[in-house]
Amino acid sequence: MQIGIVGLPFSGKTTLFQTITKTHLDSSAFGKNETHRVVIKVPDEQLERLIEIFSPKKTSNATIDLIDVVGLKKGDSGSTQFTNNFLSTVKTNDTLVQVVRMFESNAVPHPDGSINMMRDIVSFETEFIISDLSILENRIDKIKKQFQKSGGEFLKNELPTLEKAYDILHREIPLREADLANDELFLLKTYSLLTLKPMLIALNLDETQRVDAERYVESVRKMKAGKNTKVLSFYGKIEMEMSELSDEDASLFMSEYGIKESALHMLIREAYDLLGLQSFYTVGEDECRAWTIRKGMTAQEAAGVIHSDFVNKFIRAEVVGYDDFIEHGGSFARVKEYGVWRLEGKEYIVKEGDIISIRHS
Ligand SMILES: Nc1nc2c(ncn2[C@@H]2O[C@H](COP(=O)(O)OP(=O)(O)OP(=O)(O)O)[C@@H](O)[C@H]2O)c(=O)[nH]1
Ligand SMILES: [Mg+2]
């Protein structure tokens, strides 16, 4: 999974990126104006517990590619402009985190001269909509021209969907919030449209804004009540300082500041939720591993994530839920004895936290 961090200049994108990846602790060349990518381990308490039980030779957390996307400029007219670098990076991202600046700082003035989260969110969305409209317009023109010239019936089939999407955007509704059928979504996804990507709006607050945090988040939620959008807040500056502390000191620091969850945990949890993802585990003395799949996947599909050969060679899945496993002392003998260990067929819908072993031919 790829998560791209985007937002207006000086909103705190790099601060959030460095907090999560701890890349600021390694001072070796962290260029200001380049796109940064780091593969991060998804923190997973359940996996930690399984590792304690099995003491495996190898452990593998699920991973996420986190990208600090540069390349957003303020144009001469004051409007925001996306560079080609920005567009080509964002294209491949599964979800976007839009950092919205709430902190005041005289040292780093806001590019628009004042703090106004609603204005920033709307102006960013407007740029996304304009970018998508231009992609769709080009495509619609091209298809129409080609059709006039040489027929090409199959291309014409795309037109109603493209025109529907164009119309939605024209009404200033981002595509992620629109009601689209699966086949329409399937086609539109091939155009890497910006407003189709799920969006996490992350308000970057100053520690002095703590009392208002919930109110700010709620008001943005009300404005962006549509689908595929989530809103959260974090404290860029103090969380960056916190990421330099030991785990123990960091949790003391967090309770002192009333921070319930670190930016890293919150971001990953919300991104999983937004993308409809969940984890299952494979365990043993050789390896304990977390796998990420879409909710609703069958045992056979999940087997294919472990190894593509397992799809055709699938016989049965041995399954036990994480909670059941722990409740029974983390012992396969006991979960079998108490009947919570099951053999499931290929249609079984995998549940969050399932511990699975695939029987294959
Ligand atoms: N006071 C305060 N300053 C912050 C906070 N977050 C970031 N800053 C400062 O604001 C400045 C810009 O932060 P960056 O994280 O570089 O912002 P950015 O969005 O990556 O900026 P560009 O990449 O230049 O567009 C830096 O000097 C940060 O130290 C915060 O929560 N509070
Ligand atoms: Mg930056």
Rounded Cα distance between 242 and 246, Å, is 9
CB atoms within 10 A of CB 33: 7
Q: Which amino acid is at 267?
A: L
pLDDT value at residue 260: 85
Q: What is the 3-class SS of the chain, one letter each residue?
A: CEEEEEECCCCCHHHHHHHHHCHHHCCCCCCCCCCEEEEEECCCHHHHHHHHHHCCCEEECCEEEEEECCCEEECCCCCEEECHHHHHHHHCCCEEEEEEECCCCCCCCCCCCCCCHHHHHHHHHHHHHHHHHHHHHHHHHHHHHHHHHHCCHHHHCCHHHHHHHHHHHHCCCCHHHCCCCHHHHHHHHCCCCHHHCCEEEEEECCHHHHHHHHHHHHHHHHHCCCCCEEEEEECHHHHHHHCCCCHHHHHHHHHHHCCCCCHHHHHHHHHHHHHCEEEEEECCCCEEEEEEEECCCEHHHHHHHHCCCHHHHEEEEEEECHHHHHHCCCCHHHHHHCCCCEEECCCCECCCCCEEEEEEC
pLDDT (tens digit per residue) in 111-161:
888 999 999 999 889 999 999 999 999 999 998 888 888 766 667 788 999
From atom 14 of ligand 1, which residue's Cα is the shortest distance away? 12
Q: Which amino acid is at 286?
A: D
pLDDT value at residue 79: 61
Is a pLDDT exceeding 70 seen at residue 84? yes
From atom 9 of ligand 1, which residue's Cα is the shortest distance away? 12
Ligand 1: list residues with CB < 6 Å: 7, 9-15, 70, 103, 105, 108, 204, 206, 235-237
Gap from CA of 268 to ligand 2 centroid (Å): 20
pLDDT (tens digit per residue) in 349-358:
999 999 999 9
Gap from CA of 7 to ligand 2 centroid (Å): 9
Average the pLDDT over 12-24 and give the result.
Answer: 88
Gap from CA of 13 to ligand 1 centroid (Å): 7
Between these two residues, 150 and 251, which has the higher pLDDT value? 251
pLDDT value at residue 116: 93
Indicate which ligand has the atom closest to the C-alpha of 13: 1
Query: For residue 102, which atom of ligand 1 is closest to its CA?
Result: 31
**Residue 10 burial (10 A CB sphere; 0-12, 13-18, 19+):** middle
Nearest to 223 by CA among 130, 120, 342, 336: 120
Gap from CA of 14 to ligand 2 centroid (Å): 4
Confidence grade of residue 262 (pLDDT, cut at 50, 70, 90): confident
Contact 202, 99 (CB under 8 A): yes
pLDDT value at residue 88: 86
Gap from CA of 125 to ligand 1 centroid (Å): 21
From atom 21 of ligand 1, which residue's Cα is the shortest distance away? 10
pLDDT value at residue 30: 63
From atom 8 of ligand 1, which residue's Cα is the shortest distance away? 12
Q: Which amino acid is at 43?
A: P
Is a pLDDT exceeding 60 seen at residue 298? yes
pLDDT value at residue 152: 65
pLDDT value at residue 217: 95
Query: For a pocket test of ligand 1, which of 5, 6, 8, 10 has the largest count of ligand atoms closer than 8 A to its C-beta?
Result: 10
Q: Compute the mean pLDDT over every residue in the chain, rounded to the nearest whole number.
A: 90
pLDDT value at residue 75: 61
Beta-strand pair 314-320/355-360? antiparallel
pLDDT (tens digit per residue) in 43-74:
999 999 999 999 999 999 999 999 999 867 66
Record the tokens describing residue 350, joined without a space: 């995998």
Is a pLDDT exceeding 80 seen at residue 178? yes
Give CA separation, 254 vs 63, 246, 339, in Å.
25, 12, 42
% of the chain at pLDDT higher than 90: 68
From atom 12 of ligand 1, which residue's Cα is the shortest distance away? 10
Between these two residues, 75 and 240, which has the higher pLDDT value? 240
pLDDT value at residue 80: 63
Average the pLDDT over 76-91 and give the result.
Answer: 76
pLDDT value at residue 72: 72
Is a pLDDT exceeding 60 seen at residue 5? yes
Cross-strand bridge partners of residue 97: 5, 200
From atom 31 of ligand 1, which residue's Cα is the shortest distance away? 236
Q: Which amino acid is at 22?
A: K
Is a pLDDT exceeding 80 seen at residue 29? no
Average the pLDDT over 163-185 and give the result.
Answer: 96
Average the pLDDT over 301-324 and give the result.
Answer: 96
- Which residue's entry shows tokens 């009404």? 171
